């Protein structure tokens, strides 16, 4: 029996909304002979089922084992055809492709002028939405028609088509180079992580500038500028240049303000642009600017112009709530922030099949931090345990590391002494297995190892020693990222000064705002 997570057809059927199911049944039933068709029987059976079970299908006696594979393939295709006709899923790219298909049909019937008329209309839409790969395909079909048949549509038709094809080919090549570079940088970040030394920094920088095309930003179109900004954002993240990340993420968002119609055509890139900008603002600690960008993004997401589909619902949830949590952390508003936890959990429950496990665990980590900052250590442990106890988890090693460290500290703060020794051993073993430990992590290992042997009246002395040891790495370009995942310095200061951690972080945020007001006033 195939399990439901491996059965693509079952997952597709379960992903359909009520209106999409209704549309499919109307589409399938448009032909009278289909009304009792086997593929409709299969659809109704899968729609009612809670999990995929082939034995249950065979019990209904409408399909044999030999027929099932072909029947499933036929149903899968019919659902996709039905979805393609759904207005809510239609976008400019699909409309252009449809027009290109119509033009091809007319060409094959010998209706050349009608074909060219449709191609001209499709080409104008392609140019409007910067769909230049499709525009090139349209021009190539126009060339085929013009080279075979004398249409006399324009006196300089051949020259114009050659010029269009040449310009589009050059622009597409540039776009391909920039998107390739962006993808290579992303792959490097996933595999190797951030630059951890001067040598790695030089290696990444050499790699980037050797592959970056020599272009003038203002002379490029929307699409090329977007990939140019995206490549620079990835490079900035790899080299941990937060101001550069802010600069190019700002440019990326500004592109969509300059070309608002592109939001509808590229909604995922719009979301990512804003998410990268918000992340950059967190890194340079500017809550006022953060609120403005987050408010603007949420207004666009709520507007009728922003496309609505399952993928965008999941991404909108992730980026919106992740950044709401980041704002609470930025301002030290841990307890007030807990009001949105039920909303987050409800969204996770509803969208869990559309969000990858890494992002769900990242949300749990942030919820753990939210409760930890609000001195609710028991709830912090609940969410951090979801990460620590997940044996099959594929998550970035640095986040796994800090989830374990924070979980250990939460157990210590909650007074769970009967578990503390085993948690110390487990965390110590995990950290030792990590590759490329940073100095911050090494200091934490040393402290954790001694924690069980420190007498309560000596703790403050050891807290001060660890604070002094870690403080020297706060502005180190290769060490400071550790403090973004876990504000261990503020926690140590709260223990040393006998103040709530939220109070420490709030005071730091206010001080930073006073000192750095003009730091990002220009782009």
Residues 6+ apart with CB under 8 A from 76: 8, 9, 12
* Structural tokens at position 522: 């220009």
The predicted model scores a pTM of 0.83
Residues 6+ apart with CB under 8 A from 469: 443
Residue where a domain terminates, one of 35, 60, 84 = 84
* Continuous segment of H or E residues that includes residue 487: none
Residues 6+ apart with CB under 8 A from 453: none
* Continuous segment of H or E residues that includes residue 151: none
**DSSP 3-state assignment of 251?**
helix
**DSSP 3-state assignment of 235?**
helix
Contact 24, 86 (CB under 8 A): no
Burial class (CB within 10 angstroms; exposed 0-12, middle 13-18, buried 19+) of 511: exposed
Same domain for 15 and 74, yes or no, is yes
Angle subtended by helix axes 38-48 and 18-28, to nearest 10: 170
DSSP sequence for 338-407? GGGHHHHHHHHHHHGGGS-HHHHHHHHHHHHHHHHHTT-HHHHHHHHHHHHT-TT----HHHHHHHHHHH
Same domain for 74 and 106, yes or no, is no
Number of domains in the chain: 2
Kindly give the residue spans of alpha helices, DSSP state H, lying in 16-156. Answer: 18-28, 38-48, 54-59, 65-84, 92-108, 112-128, 132-148
96 in a domain, yes or no?
A: yes
480 in a domain, yes or no?
A: no
Same domain for 79 and 126, yes or no, is no
Distances in Å between the Cα of 114 and the Cα atoms of 95, 100, 136 are 17, 12, 19
**What is the extent of the structural domain holding 102?**
92-153
Burial class (CB within 10 angstroms; exposed 0-12, middle 13-18, buried 19+) of 116: buried
Same domain for 53 and 69, yes or no, is yes
Phi-psi region of 322 (alpha: psi -120 to 50; beta: other; left: phi over 0): alpha
115 in a domain, yes or no?
A: yes
Q: Is the dihedral of CA 492, 498, 500, 503 positive or negative?
A: negative
Contact 383, 361 (CB under 8 A): no
Contact 262, 222 (CB under 8 A): yes
Residue where a domain terminates, one of 84, 104, 124 = 84
Same domain for 77 and 122, yes or no, is no
Same domain for 114 and 72, yes or no, is no
Angle subtended by helix axes 222-238 and 242-258, to nearest 10: 160
Same domain for 12 and 71, yes or no, is yes
Same domain for 96 and 119, yes or no, is yes
What is d(CA 500, CA 491) in angstroms, rounded to the nearest whole number?
8
* Structural tokens at position 369: 């931090």
User: 469-509, pLDDT tens digit by residue?
Assistant: 888 888 887 777 777 777 888 888 888 888 888 888 888 87
pLDDT score at 348: 92
* Structural tokens at position 48: 């009612």
Q: Of 63, 21, 23, 64, give the one whose Cα is nearest residue 43.
A: 21
51 in a domain, yes or no?
A: yes
488 in a domain, yes or no?
A: no
Contact 435, 398 (CB under 8 A): no
Q: Of 270, 280, 267, give the one whose Cα is nearest residue 237.
A: 280
112 in a domain, yes or no?
A: yes
Residue where a domain terminates, one of 84, 100, 124 = 84
Same domain for 70 and 138, yes or no, is no
The pLDDT averaged over each successive group of 10 residues in the chain (523 residues) is: 62 87 85 69 89 85 86 91 80 90 93 93 94 95 83 70 94 95 90 82 95 93 96 93 94 95 92 95 87 95 88 92 92 91 93 84 92 91 88 69 83 76 77 72 78 76 88 81 77 87 82 59 39
User: 13-29, pLDDT tens digit by residue?
Assistant: 988 888 889 888 888 87
Same domain for 77 and 24, yes or no, is yes
358 in a domain, yes or no?
A: no
Neighbours of 382 (CB within 10 A): 15
Residues 6+ apart with CB under 8 A from 215: 174, 224, 228
What is d(CA 177, CA 196) in angstroms, rounded to the nearest whole number?
27
Same domain for 13 and 77, yes or no, is yes
Q: Of 128, 133, 123, give the one whose Cα is nearest residue 176.
A: 133
Neighbours of 154 (CB within 10 A): 11
Alpha-carbon Rg for the chain in angstroms = 28
294 in a domain, yes or no?
A: no
């Amino acid at each position: 029996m195939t399990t439901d997570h491996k059965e693509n057809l079952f997952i597709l059927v379960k992903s359909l909304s009520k209106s999409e199911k209704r549309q499919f049944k109307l589409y399938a039933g448009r032909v009278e002979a289909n009304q009792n068709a086997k593929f409709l029987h299969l659809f109704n059976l899968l729609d009612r089922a809670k999990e995929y079970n082939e034995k249950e299908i065979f019990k209904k006696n409408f399909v044999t084992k030999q027929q099932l594979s072909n029947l499933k393939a036929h149903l899968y295709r019919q659902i996709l055809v039905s979805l393609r006709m759904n207005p809510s899923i239609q976008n400019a790219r699909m409309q252009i492709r449809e027009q290109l298909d119509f033009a091809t049909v007319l060409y094959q019937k010998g209706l050349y002028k009608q074909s060219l008329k449709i191609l001209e209309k499709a080409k104008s839409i392609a140019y409007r939405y910067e769909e230049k790969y499709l525009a090139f395909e349209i021009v190539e079909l126009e060339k085929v028609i013009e080279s075979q048949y004398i249409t006399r549509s324009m006196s300089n038709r051949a020259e114009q088509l050659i010029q269009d094809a040449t310009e589009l080919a050059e622009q597409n090549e540039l776009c391909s180079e920039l998107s390739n570079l962006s993808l290579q940088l992303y792959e490097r970040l996933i595999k190797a992580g951030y630059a951890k030394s001067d040598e790695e920094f030089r290696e990444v920088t050499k790699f980037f500038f050797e592959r970056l095309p020599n272009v003038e930003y203002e002379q490029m179109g929307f699409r090329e500028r977007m990939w140019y900004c995206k490549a620079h954002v990835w490079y900035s993240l790899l080299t941990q240049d937060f101001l550069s990340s802010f600069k190019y993420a700002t440019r990326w968002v500004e592109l969509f303000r300059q070309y608002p119609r592109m939001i509808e055509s590229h909604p995922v890139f719009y979301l990512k642009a804003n998410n990268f900008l918000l992340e950059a603002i967190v890194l340079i600690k500017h809550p006022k600017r953060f609120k403005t960008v987050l408010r603007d993004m949420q207004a666009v997401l709520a507007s009728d112009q922003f496309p609505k589909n399952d993928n965008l619902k999941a991404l909108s949830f992730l980026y919106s709530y992740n950044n709401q949590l980041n704002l609470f952390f930025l301002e030290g508003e841990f307890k007030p922030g807990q009001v949105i936890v039920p909303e987050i959990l409800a969204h996770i429950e509803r969208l869990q099949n559309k969000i990858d496990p890494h992002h769900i665990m990242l949300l749990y980590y942030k919820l753990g931090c939210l409760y930890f900052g609000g001195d609710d250590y028991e709830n912090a442990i609940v969410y951090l345990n979801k990460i620590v106890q997940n044996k099959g988890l594929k998550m970035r090693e640095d986040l796994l590391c800090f989830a374990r460290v924070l979980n250990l500290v939460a157990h210590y703060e909650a007074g769970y002494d009967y578990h503390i020794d085993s948690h110390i051993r487990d965390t110590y073993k995990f950290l030792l297995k990590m590759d490329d430990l940073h100095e911050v992590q090494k200091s934490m290992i040393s402290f954790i190892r001694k924690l069980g042997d420190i007498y309560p009246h000596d703790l403050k002395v050891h807290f001060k020693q660890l604070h002094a040891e870690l403080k020297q790495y706060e502005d180190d370009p290769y060490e400071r990222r550790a403090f973004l995942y876990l504000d261990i310095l503020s926690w140590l200061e709260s223990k040393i000064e006998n103040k709530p951690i939220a109070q420490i972080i709030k005071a730091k945020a206010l001080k930073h705002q006073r000192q750095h007001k003009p730091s990002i006033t220009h782009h």
